[in-house]
Amino acid sequence: MLLEVKGLTKSFGGLAAVDELNFYVNEGETLSIIGPNGAGKTTLFNLITGVYASTRGRIAFDGEDVTGLKPFSIAQKGIARTFQTTAIFPGKSVLDNIISGQLCRARSGFWGTIFRPPHVRQEEKHFLDRAYEILQFTGLAAEAHRLAGDITQEAQKRLSIGLALATGPKLLLLDEPTGGVNLQEIDGLVALIEKIRNVGITICLIEHKMRMVMSISSRIIVLDHGQKIADGLPVEVSHDKKVIEAYLGAKYAA
């Protein structure tokens, strides 16, 4: 398995947003994490990526304990993410956004950026070439020199995914990747996610659009009040009484 979480707990003022959670992500799969609002899904992503420190529990990635590492270190290990609210640099060009995403892999230090010896110039060229590759991959090549704040919401979603891809991840965490886009644009984002999976990047996503979740997922985990209430294939989860009760109420699960 690529990611393993054991006994993970995060409490805020005595309230457990994530409560003794155990789960895993296999290499190469697309795992969806679903659940009602307030179930702890985004908190879980924040714990995995080092935004929050856990109250207790352990996170292992690619066989290494990464519990308590800072976000920059987590990114260097090979975990990247997008955010529920699209996080880009609106005042920079689309191209510069992607270049910025590669900085966690930069080997040149402060003096290297000042004096720019040959190895630094070579690294800069590599970052530029790689940025154009990512823009082509995400369907944003035509937007390369536009300000990121001026492109459409759907294109900004693609850019946020491109930013995450620029870090060179083994595991990509997507927090509501189709949030805020219209129905006609969802299919294009789904196709991009499948394209990412097909190049060998493992995907874990939070999503509320159930039709999309059922079509794209290898496996689904359901959270409610910070606890895992279901884990299985899409067809299994869709018929699980605990899941139906969490979403619709006890009378629908009877």
> Residues near 71 by Cβ (< 8 Å), separated by ≥ 6?
49, 50, 51
Instruction: Decide: helix, strand or coil at residue 61.
Output: strand
| Residue 186 vs residues 109, 181, 191, 212: alpha-carbon distances, Å | 41, 7, 9, 9
**Which backbone phi and psi does 187 adopt, to 5 degrees?**
-60, -40
Asked if residues 134 and 98 have their Cβ atoms less than 8 Å apart, the reply is yes
pLDDT in tens, 37-75: 999 999 999 999 999 999 999 999 999 999 999 999 999
Q: Shortest CA distance to 162 belongs to which of 146, 182, 144, 187?
A: 144
pLDDT in tens, 225-242: 999 999 999 999 999 999
User: By residue range, what is the domain housing residue 111?
Assistant: 3-253
Residues of the chain with pLDDT under 50: 109-115, 252, 254
CA distance 95 to 149: 12
Check residue 26 and give its pLDDT.
97
Check residue 122 and give its pLDDT.
76
Check residue 111 and give its pLDDT.
39
Count of domains in the chain? 1
CA distance 36 to 59: 24
| Prediction pTM value | 0.90
Concatenate the DSSP letters of all residues of 66-80 into one string.
-TT--HHHHHHHTEE
Tokens of 6: 């054991």
CA distance 22 to 252: 27
Check residue 110 and give its pLDDT.
42
Q: What is the CATH number for 189?
A: 3.40.50.300
Check residue 106 and give its pLDDT.
65
CA distance 15 to 12: 5
Q: Shortest CA distance to 63 belongs to which of 7, 20, 24, 105?
A: 24
